Amino acid sequence: MRTVLVAGGCGFIGTNFVLHLLRTRPELRVVNLDKLTYAGNLENLAEVEGHPNYRFVKGDICDEALVDKLLGEGVDVLVNFAAETHVDRSIKDPAEFIRSNVVGVQTLLVCARKRNVRRFIQIGTDEVYGSLGPSGRFTEDSPLQPNNPYSASKAAGDLLVRAFHKTHGMDAVITRCTNNYGPFQFPEKAIPVFVSNAMQDRPIPVYGDGLHVRDWLYVEDHCRAIESAMERGRAGEVYNIGGGNELPNIELARLILRELKKPESLIQFVTDRPGHDRRYALDSAKIQKELNWRPRVTLAEGIPRTVRWYLEHQEWLGKLRSGDYLEYYRRHYHQTHGLKE
């Protein structure tokens, strides 16, 4: 049985990926290493806690002794989602971004090499390419031109992965995806902020003129793309993963309001983010051609599905917004596993 170590499995995409593997790949064992920062929520994975092929380990990817021990137990593939991910936070306080997104990646790479992990998958972002004008799309060969501390730290992580492949021949693949949306996204990112505010008739904060464009991909489609890179991606390659669903933020806000039958008067233009990238868009021809991956969920299907999920998970949303989810970890996990805090 192959073992996949998922780092950062209690965050938004990591949660969806762990659930995806456990639902569809009974031949795989999944170990989830997560530090449970503010963005990590153990309760997301409550339904698989007792699953025979699943194990959770609380820990930091910068903790070399712990990572070494875990990888020494036998890991075939390491998929690294663990990162600080919110651009606005990186502008206020970049230190944690450098620690987790750069030093963390380096620690994983050093240990993976020492413990002969067969394949290393680094989950990257399109934001490393910087900002586009009104036309064109980034390819895997576009220069890295990050514009904020988050994207700069992610670019540094990607470059370390590349260097370990070139220097040590490590079997490593980097994926770079556009903006994801779907279940379990933390309510500080645009879509869950828009949905949860609108649900409560609170203003929807749209940065600047609202004409910044993002390309949206439903998280399940991203999980399938990562799985294809994990199984069939070529060592040393980068794969862009785009949704083909470009939308200015103001249109996204309107779409969500229509879905919730709320008035457009809830939209409030607020001060822009400094260095706000104008447009992201990816050319995903490479992954489509080489790995036969295609997105399946259109925005027309994905947005209603996501809005419905948040409507049905208002308790989850409320807990995250109040910070109560940390209580779940303290009570439930420590009790279940007989651990001391």
Interface with ligand NAD (CB under 6 A): 7-8, 10-14, 34-37, 39-40, 60-62, 81-85, 100, 104, 123, 125, 154, 177, 179-180, 186
Is 127 annotated in the active site? yes
Select from ligand NAD, ligand TYD, none the partner in contact with residue 40, using the beta carbon and a kind-dependent cut-off of 5 to 8 Å.
ligand NAD
Is 221 annotated in the active site? no
Give the span between the Cα atoms of 74 and 83, in whole angstroms. 23
The least CB distance from residue 31 to ligand NAD, in Å, is: 13
Residue 7 or 206: the one with the smaller Cβ distance to ligand NAD is 7
The least CB distance from residue 244 to ligand TYD, in Å, is: 16
Q: Tell me if residue 7 falls in helix, strand or coil.
A: strand
The least CB distance from residue 337 to ligand TYD, in Å, is: 33
Element of type H or E holding 268 = strand 267-270
In the complex, the residues that contact ligand TYD under the rule CB under 6 A are 87, 179, 189-190, 193, 205-207, 212, 214, 249
Amino acid at 106: Q
Sort 169 into a burial class: Cβ within 10 Å, 0-12 / 13-18 / 19+: exposed
Q: Which of 150, 181, 218, 310 is catalytic?
A: 150
Sort 86 into a burial class: Cβ within 10 Å, 0-12 / 13-18 / 19+: middle
Is 277 annotated in the active site? no
Q: Which residue has the tokens 């965050």?
A: 11
Residue 3 or 182: the one with the smaller Cβ distance to ligand NAD is 182
The least CB distance from residue 238 to ligand TYD, in Å, is: 19
Select from ligand NAD, ligand TYD, none the partner in contact with residue 206, using the beta carbon and a kind-dependent cut-off of 5 to 8 Å.
ligand TYD
Q: Which of 126, 220, 221, 227 is catalytic?
A: 126
Select from ligand TYD, ligand NAD, none the partner in contact with residue 164, using the beta carbon and a kind-dependent cut-off of 5 to 8 Å.
none
3-state secondary structure 219-258: HHHHHHHHHHHHHHCCCCCEEEECCCCEEEHHHHHHHHHH
Q: What are residue 31's DSSP bridge partners?
A: 5, 55
Q: What are residue 56's DSSP bridge partners?
A: 32
Residue 33 or 255: the one with the smaller Cβ distance to ligand NAD is 33
Q: Are 183 and 45 in contact (CB under 8 A)?
A: no
Residue 205 or 304: the one with the smaller Cβ distance to ligand TYD is 205
Give the span between the Cα atoms of 337 and 215, in whole angstroms. 41
Residue 111 or 217: the one with the smaller Cβ distance to ligand TYD is 217
The least CB distance from residue 84 to ligand NAD, in Å, is: 6
Q: Which of 34, 43, 84, 127 is catalytic?
A: 127
Q: Tell me if residue 309 falls in helix, strand or coil.
A: helix
Point out the residues that are catalytic: 126-127, 150
